[in-house]
Amino acid sequence: MTVFQQEHLLFTPATAEHNAIPAIFAFPNEYTIGITSLGFQIVWATLAMRSDLDVRRLFTDLSEPLPRNPELLGFSVSWELDYINIFNLLESLDIPLHNIERQDHHPLIFGGGTVLTANPEPFADFFDVILLGDGEDLLDRFIDAYQQVRQANRETKLRHLAQVPGIYIPSLYEVTYYSPDGEIKAIAPIDSDIPAEVKKQTYRGNTLSASTVVTEKAAWENIYMVEVVRSCPEMCRFCLASYLTLPFRTAPLATSLIPAIEKGLKVTNRLGLLGASVTQHPEFEAILDYLSQPIYQDVRLSIASVRTNTVTEKLASTLANRDTRSITIAVESGSEKVRQIVNKKLTNEEIIQAAINAKAGGLKALKLYGMVGIPGEEMADVQETVTMMSAIKQAVPGLRLTLGCSTFVPKSHTPFQWFGVNSDAKKRLKYLEKNLRQQGIDFRPESYNWSVIQALISRAIAV
Ligand code: SF4
């Protein structure tokens, strides 16, 4: 059986019409990772439910049988460092990397997702079409508009697509600079028929996404994912997940979440509640009560993001009773000063209380997530992170503690977008490593060098 035959679909793909548009929809990483992306799943299902498209999936390690002459090739881009895989896949299909080198017989290369919406410019030379914002509505408008000009030449197609709100056609805009190696002066359309501004699309409905496919080959085997909230009202000043997708939206429990959860639990017992700030849902307690019912006692529950001061004993025991052993909280720093700088409304007492509640509820481990190199951070602040971790260890002996730590990377659309990567971050990661491991606290740093590259790709500027 192929991996595709092992999938359990929660939607009905359309049968392609005889003149359906041959299309490829790609995820620039392995199948296991791509199929665990809710965004990828949703876009693929939306395309596959159209009878006027014959869409096949492509990953870096495998694919469905691909059309010989695709007209459209799309990428879902959710991680900057996947950029190299986009180039590799284009090369493997004999498609020129640069949009200006493509001709009429080449497919239109389109893309969407967090990375491209946040800042399409670093990718502007490589994509023909970039979809900005939420895919609901926009994706169908894109395909409908493409159908209207399907027989036209490449330039006519692109000019027509440029009229659709939310569609950015980079080759129809000219970038001017203050100096050859300096800042951008303007990005202007090449003529007056092209919109001067492309507006990011925001979905206003109140039904959020849920998995369209469940498979044991997913990174979290057989997980069914439900998007509980979109964006986050906390607005920490570095946070793309909050700013890019504002306003904060929540799926209503009775009319949206429960039907979605029930649908998924018919085919699997593994449930993931997704969103930047799941525990901020106004009916979160009711969600926990609902999932605590005896009929769901075999359900394995994972929650994507838990705000530290919402880790109650009840939440911890619900998770522990649903086969979860640990919980992750983002604290950013042990320094109250740094947390104030980033607008993280959290005290050390609340962090310690979260650890106490986690243990009291029956969880075995607590993972904290922090950053170094936040603007305004000094060495004394990093020392405070060590002090805070020691205090947690003393307060909850026996609870396994891990600190995952990255380097601050500036992201477009956030208030911190103009800051660079702090070159002292590397030293600070080493300091944490030495001082935490000495105390038996697990420390998992993310690569400083890759953070620098990520910053270059996110912002397209030197750091
Ligand atoms: S609480 Fe988390 S998700 Fe919300 S803005 Fe802060 S970092 Fe982002």
CATH architecture observed for domain 321-463? 2-Layer Sandwich (3.30)
Q: How far is the CA of 1 from the centre of ligand 1 (A)?
A: 41
Instruction: Count CB atoms within 10 A of the CB of residue 306.
Output: 23
Two tokens, residue 312? 């109650």
**pTM (2 decimals)?**
0.93
Residue nearest to atom 3 of ligand 1 (CA): 276
Q: What is the pLDDT of residue 51?
A: 98
Residue nearest to atom 6 of ligand 1 (CA): 236
Q: Are 291 and 260 within 8 A, CB to CB?
A: no
Q: What is the pLDDT along the chain (463 residues), one digit of tens a residue?
A: 899 999 999 999 999 999 999 999 999 999 999 999 999 999 999 999 999 999 999 999 999 999 999 999 999 999 999 999 999 999 999 999 999 999 999 999 999 999 999 999 999 999 999 999 999 999 999 999 999 999 999 999 999 999 999 999 999 999 999 998 888 899 999 999 999 999 999 998 878 999 999 999 999 999 999 999 999 999 999 999 999 999 999 999 999 999 999 999 999 999 999 999 999 999 999 999 999 999 999 999 998 878 998 999 999 999 999 888 999 999 999 999 999 999 999 999 999 999 999 999 999 999 999 999 999 999 999 999 999 999 999 999 999 999 999 999 999 999 999 999 999 999 999 999 999 999 999 999 999 999 999 999 998 765 5
- Hey, do 8-189 and 321-463 end up sharing a CATH topology, with the first three levels equal? no
Q: How far is the CA of 276 from the centre of ligand 1 (A)?
A: 7
* Integer Cα distance of 342 and 284 in angstroms: 25
Q: What is the pLDDT of residue 316?
A: 95
**What b/e sequence results for 278-290 when a residue is b if at least 16 CB atoms lie within 10 Å of its CB, and e otherwise?**
bbbbebbeebbeb
Rounded to 10 deg, the angle between the 258-265 and 284-291 helix axes is 30
Residue 342 Cα distances to 2, 19, 235, 238, angstroms: 47, 53, 9, 7
The reply to whether CATH 3.40.50.280 applies to domain 8-189 is yes
Q: Which atom of ligand 1 is nearest to the CA of 332?
A: 7
Q: Which atom of ligand 1 is nearest to the CA of 342?
A: 6
Kindly tell me the burial class for residue 11, based on how many C-beta atoms sit within 10 Å of its own C-beta (0-12, 13-18, 19 or more). Answer: middle
The tens digit of pLDDT for each residue in 185-227 reads 999 999 999 999 999 999 988 789 999 999 999 999 999 999 9
Q: Which atom of ligand 1 is nearest to the CA of 243?
A: 5
Q: How far is the CA of 150 from the centre of ligand 1 (A)?
A: 42
Task: Say how many CA atoms lie within 13 Å of 241 toward its Cβ.
Answer: 14
CB within 6 Å of ligand 1 — which residues? Answer: 232, 234-236, 239, 241-242, 276-277, 307, 330
Q: Are 368 and 329 within 8 A, CB to CB?
A: yes
Q: How far is the CA of 252 from the centre of ligand 1 (A)?
A: 21
Residue nearest to atom 1 of ligand 1 (CA): 234
Domain boundaries, the chain: 8-189, 220-305, 321-463
Q: Which residues contact 123 (CB under 8 A, 6 or more apart)?
A: 77, 83, 86, 111, 115, 116, 130
Q: How far is the CA of 234 from the centre of ligand 1 (A)?
A: 6
3-state secondary structure of 156: helix
